[in-house]
Structure 1
Amino acid sequence: MCTSHDHNQGEPTPTGAGRRGFLRATALLGAAATAGVALPTVAEASDKGGWRPDPDSRRFTLAVMPDTQYLFDGPSIHPAPLEASLRYLLEQGKDDNIVFLSHLGDLTQNGAEAEFDAIGETFGILDRRGVGYSVLAGNHDVNSSTDDQRGSTPYLDTFGPKRFKGRKTFGGASDDGYNTYHLFTAAGREWMVLALDWRLSAKGYAWAKDVLARHPKTPVVLTTHELVVEDDALSAYGQQLWDRLVADHDQIFLALGGHYWPAGRAVRKNAAGHDVHLHLTNYQNRYFGGAAMIRLYHFDLDRNVIDVETVSPWILGRAAKGLNELERQEIELSGDADRFSVDIDFADRFAGFAPVPARPARPASRLLIPGTQAYWRFDAAPSGTVRDLSGRGNDLTTVSVGGGTLGWSADHHPDQPGHGSLEFTGFKSPLKGAYLKTVDKAPLNSATFKDGYTIEAFYRLPADWDPDHNAWSGIVSRTGTGGAAGRTGDDPDEPLATLSLSNDREPQWAMRPLNQQGIATNWGQETPLETWWHLAVVNDGRHTTLYVEGCPVVRNPRPAAVGITSVGLPWLLGGYTYADKIDQILHGRLGDVRIVSRALPVTSFMTH
């Protein structure tokens, strides 16, 4: 039992089914009947075979296990729950891409040799498969009045550096053996778990700082036994750890501890002004000493989130045989403290010590793939004519409305070939701004693309974008009306083709194919402000697909759409016409634009 009981309180019951852990639990429960308390036979999982998490996937899982002390308490040693959790990690390892397990200390109740013999043997399940994991000493594993200079103990004999020597993830240990660091590869980069003793000595702090200094670009998850005491509060030792180590080391973005209960969270800003997430995880006060519950930190670097769930594999495994009353209650005790999400913009958070290298600009010649009809980019402020880099003569001239002008910015989409963009400042009423149009004799003006086409553009809308004044502005559009082309279905005054943005900032490709009287429309989803976006409209000669950031949208029409109707009039960048008059001008930034006379695969988009 922990030394403090001030926070030994019950946790709230959830108001509804939550994430996958709770759904998994309830699915296993089914209609199981109440059964007596009896230790189950642990489902056997093969201890053979290697541990092979995917090092490149941008989704991976860090497993965390807090205080297991009541399972290893003198004559009351029950390894089955721990075995169930460890085997669960083996069985779920591939599906969840589990890369590492961190135990948060208080492995045992009394720190006795027999207790450590039992738990050491149980952890052999992971050793035989080469699974990366860390442990650390809690106050019940050692003499709680000592620090990491205490010397030999049963803990050190069982879980000292010699146990991890040769393990792929083992980085090293302090001279005393009580502090270790571990390295694993996930999402294509190196990560560290820094596992620190119950109490750090001056030597311990110096060692930890040296490890961080020797891995200056590695994001770090710090684990220790005591850190957070309750929501938004650190313990006295936790505060010392923050002041002497965490606050000045920006690499530490997540710190985990146990010892107290119930589970809680805190956030502190470090010296660099960045958030550090500090979590308390401990379930020893729950049924069967917490039953070796595990917390799963599911990292998703594409969504910039860590989804957290807490599961008890031992109780889940008993569901088929029927659960007793306390087990049923336990399986439902997963409130907001145990199942939540942490939003982290990983690239931004790590930029101070490991910035993602900016993608260099690519020469225009690399973008002139077969079939390129026009390619415009804005590497510098425009002066007069904007040349079509394809060499086909589809040059652009500036048209000013109400005295409006075009600006230039070095801002650009991170995957844009050219490192610059045009700044459009359109306004609806009164109409003002400037846009670009192809010269009168441009070959593009008469092109009909009967065999297919790909139109690509990069854009970004500013924070002050207002649907009342800026909606329905064109990114790329073709002038001329349906009525002039003899295609009078729908509104005959609409332009022949336009890639526009709706009042909800939804990209829309609306055009008149050669084989239809009416307008064919592809719709994308709302695109947030102050974010660069890449759009691609791809027609394979029969069907058209709109892509946002290389992903097809849901509203792509099924009817055949062949080519683009033309009456020989110019194309516009940043402008939209209605009844052959300029009606709206883009308010935002426009990057590279390319038009190709064939359908391109996603792998050939300008983002690649």
Structure 2
Amino acid sequence: MTAPGTSRRSLLVGAGLMGAAAAGLATASPASAAAPETAAPASAALPELHGPWRPDTEDQRFTLVVMPDTQYMFDGDAIHPAPIEASFRYLLANAEDDNIVFMAHLGDLTQNGQAGEFAAIGEAFTVLDTHQVPYSVLAGNHDINSGKDDQRGPSPYLDVFGPQRFRGASSFGGASPDGYNTWHSFRAAGREWLVLALDWRPSAAGIAWARKVVADHPTSPVILTTHEIVGANNYGDEAQLSDFGQQLWDELIDGSDQIFLTLNGHFWPPARTVKTNAAGHDTHLHITNYQDRYYGGAAMIRLYRFDLARNTIDVDTISPWILGQAADSLNELQRQEIELTGPQDRFSLDIDFTERFSGFAPVAPRPGRPVGRMLIPGTVAYWRFDGSHDTDRVQDLTGRGNDLVKQALPGAADSALTWSDQYHPDQPGHASLYFGGDKDGSGPHGAYLRTVDSAPLNAATFAAGYTFETYLKLPADWDGNRNAWSAILSRWGMSGEAGKTGGDPQEPVVTLSLSGGAELQWCVYPVDLTTSVTNWGHLLPLNAWWHVAVVNDGRHTTMYVDGCPVVRNPATVNHGLTSLGGPWLLGGYEYNGKIDQIMHGFIGDVRITDRALSPREFMNA
């Protein structure tokens, strides 16, 4: 959160971006749009790094930086490296905070492909080499003889950015024999990712080489970069494949399921589209190019912020060169280019990475765990449903006799309580029970389970603490109007009968229920209080599996969802659970001495212990 009176620019300057002024680099002013003839070397005003470039390779959040056409800044004797140097300083200054893992240039590094132009931009790139920043470049049509494919032979581009430049880089994988196509890799979110950097016009041999690179890394997601694939006529239009882009799609992208994102420059304005490949999966195709804008795009960069935990890529477009200048020195055109916020410049992509990569890198489900491993010290009841499809009686696997028996309401169909092969990915037992209950004007419908009359659990008060755990999923048709206040687990017995005077005398003494908004509610009457204590969870999205745990350490009760504590955990000191000797109900809720609602959804493994567990001891740990 930015403090009042603090600008975004001041934050970036504080991060080491005030390079244009501090280093004596080019700054355009209203009086002069051109850079001074003398510019500081690329190494000036670099931020201090703590050791070598070392992103967090296991973090589910990481950033890929993309730089499109920089040709107008390296045009004959009009050499203006300041913007690109500022962008490189941004990478260095924000490497750790943004977890930047790679930078990809999209070609047209220079305007004319001349040796002097390449010498200048090659010098600018030494900043990244010095700090071992992984990056890729590729030849655009202005960098080489564009009338020939990658068999064109020697060029100033190869002299400066050929494979020899990358030989010592750990991210460099290799190059095609001609040197114009390269592949690179980086590790992020616990896996290897590939970047294919293809020439302006890869030959048939170049395409075959690219196919082999992909085939040699069969489980790696691939980002394909080249200078031309898609374009758009007007800002806001959906991107369309160019003629060459269609050829590349037909010969490489469509049949390579690993290629999930393509990036190109060349055309403007920026645009994007999504195409379905031969495997039935989405491929995102993006064009980003700002050379048509003020100062040739000022070496703008696009930040692709991957977040695999959220299944999202958030995209931003900024000009570090302009951001790093003092506000009072900016001319009118610069002020418009600081940060681009149009829908083609700042946007988010929703990608279910697990599903998208399932065709080549499926995530194996966690193996089931034997019952014995789950019977940790203090376990007083454990029910799971993978050993039998019987819904009439479920055995307590602790051997303590807390077995469950089916109770069907009048008129309940066989489908009211059924066995299911669905389960939470981290669940020890690979099965669940489906409860098809609901409630309308005529009352509740369905079937539930209850502990047998002789179950020791019926009398337990958990004076020293407890942990109740279960897995659940609410189906897509869960409806708060029909399914509200159903219980996942509850205890028979009204609070009024137990002498509790501080709440609803007709509600049960213990219940783990769901509100009309699909919020979890642990409402209990402790043995030492005359009123109830309630923990509230947040709204649970439908059609998703969740692990829920409620823990009491003898003084306080904490609810966890997927191992994370919720916000509404009361500070009330309490211990124990009131018992009237009645049964525990799985999937059933009693009110005023009768069944009032039946669960609508799936319940997986259920474990109860008579002590407080830490999250690392939960069933999903």
Q: State the 1:333 CA deviation.
A: 3.5
Q: State the 1:427 CA deviation.
A: 2.1
The 2-side partners of 1:57 and 1:303 are apart by 12
- What amino acid is the match of 1:414? P
| Structure possessing the higher relative contact order (Cα contacts under 8 Å, 6 or more residues apart) | 1
Instruction: Tell me which residue corresponds to 2:88.
Output: 86
1:389 paired residue among 385, 388, 397? 397
Tell whether 2:267 aligns with 1:265.
no
Q: State the 1:474 CA deviation.
A: 0.5
Q: State the 1:28 CA deviation.
A: 5.9
Q: State the 1:410 CA deviation.
A: 0.9
Tell whether 2:549 aligns with 1:536.
yes
Tell whether 2:194 aligns with 1:189.
no
1:186-335 equivalences in 2 (<5 Å): 186-230=188-232, 231-319=238-326, 322-335=329-342
- What amino acid is the match of 2:596? D
Q: Could you report, residue by residue, the CA deviation over 1:66-100 in whole angstroms, capped at 9, with x for unpaired residues?
A: 00111111111111111111111011011111111
Is the 1:488–1:517 Cα contact (8 Å) retained in structure 2?
Answer: yes
Instruction: Tell me which residue corresponds to 1:13.
Output: none
Instruction: Tell me which residue corresponds to 1:362.
Output: 369
Q: Could you report, residue by residue, the CA deviation over 1:144-190 in whole angstroms, capped at 9, with x for unpaired residues?
A: 11111100000011111111113111111111010011111111111
Q: State the 1:465 CA deviation.
A: 1.7
CA spacing shift, 1:566–1:48, aligned 2, 3 Å = closer
1:340 paired residue among 333, 344, 347? 347
- What amino acid is the match of 1:398? K
TM-score computed with the length of structure 1 as normaliser:
0.93
The 2-side partners of 1:183 and 1:23 are apart by 36
2:447 paired residue among 434, 458, 472? 434
- What amino acid is the match of 2:149? D
The 2-side partners of 1:373 and 1:582 are apart by 25
Q: Could you report, residue by residue, the CA deviation over 1:290-338 in whole angstroms, capped at 9, with x for unpaired residues?
A: 1111111010010000011111111111035632211111125421111
Q: Could you report, residue by residue, the CA deviation over 1:240-278 in whole angstroms, capped at 9, with x for unpaired residues?
A: 111111111110000000011111111111111111111
Aligned pair count?
588
1:450-599 equivalences in 2 (<5 Å): 450-599=463-612
Q: Could you report, residue by residue, the CA deviation over 1:184-222 in whole angstroms, capped at 9, with x for unpaired residues?
A: 111111110011011111111111111111111110000
Q: Which moved more, 1:475-484 or 1:329-338?
A: 329-338
- What amino acid is the match of 2:167? K
The 2-side partners of 1:578 and 1:572 are apart by 12
1:73 paired residue among 58, 72, 75? 75
The 1-side partners of 2:573 and 2:294 are apart by 62
- What amino acid is the match of 1:345? D
Structure 2 unaligned runs (5+)?
Answer: 15-20, 22-27, 233-237
2:436 paired residue among 422, 425, 435? 425
2:407 paired residue among 370, 388, 399? 399
CA spacing shift, 1:25–1:308, aligned 2, 3 Å = farther
Partner-residue secondary structure (3-state), 1:315: helix
Q: Could you report, residue by residue, the CA deviation over 1:382-430 in whole angstroms, capped at 9, with x for unpaired residues?
A: 2542111122221111111124342111110000000000111112134
Partner-residue secondary structure (3-state), 2:362: coil
The 2-side partners of 1:234 and 1:159 are apart by 28
Tell whether 2:162 aligns with 1:165.
no
The 1-side partners of 2:561 and 2:554 are apart by 20
Is the 1:47–1:128 Cα contact (8 Å) retained in structure 2?
Answer: no
Partner-residue secondary structure (3-state), 1:448: coil
Tell whether 2:8 aligns with 1:24.
yes
The 2-side partners of 1:337 and 1:53 are apart by 28
CA spacing shift, 1:505–1:330, aligned 2, 3 Å = same
Q: State the 1:34 CA deviation.
A: 7.7
Partner-residue secondary structure (3-state), 1:182: strand
- What amino acid is the match of 2:403? D
Is the 1:49–1:129 Cα contact (8 Å) retained in structure 2?
Answer: no
The 2-side partners of 1:393 and 1:366 are apart by 19
Q: Which moved more, 1:117-126 or 1:328-337?
A: 328-337
Structure 1 unaligned runs (5+)?
Answer: 1-16
The 1-side partners of 2:51 and 2:588 are apart by 61
- What amino acid is the match of 1:316? L
Is the 1:148–1:204 Cα contact (8 Å) retained in structure 2?
Answer: yes
Instruction: Tell me which residue corresponds to 1:148.
Output: 150
Is the 1:297–1:308 Cα contact (8 Å) retained in structure 2?
Answer: yes
Q: Could you report, residue by residue, the CA deviation over 1:416-471 in whole angstroms, capped at 9, with x for unpaired residues?
A: 00000011111213422111111112111111112211111111122222222211
Q: Which moved more, 1:465-474 or 1:248-257?
A: 465-474
CA spacing shift, 1:65–1:508, aligned 2, 3 Å = same
TM-score computed with the length of structure 2 as normaliser:
0.91
The 1-side partners of 2:458 and 2:433 are apart by 22
Instruction: Tell me which residue corresponds to 2:141.
Output: 139
The 2-side partners of 1:362 and 1:133 are apart by 43
The 2-side partners of 1:29 and 1:48 are apart by 19
Partner-residue secondary structure (3-state), 2:96: helix
- Taking only aligned residues, the RMSD between alpha carbons, in angstroms, comes to 2.1
Instruction: Tell me which residue corresponds to 1:8.
Output: none
Identity percentage of aligned residues = 63
Q: State the 1:514 CA deviation.
A: 2.0
Q: State the 1:29 CA deviation.
A: 9.4
Is the 1:471–1:503 Cα contact (8 Å) retained in structure 2?
Answer: yes
Is the 1:264–1:279 Cα contact (8 Å) retained in structure 2?
Answer: yes
Is the 1:48–1:128 Cα contact (8 Å) retained in structure 2?
Answer: no
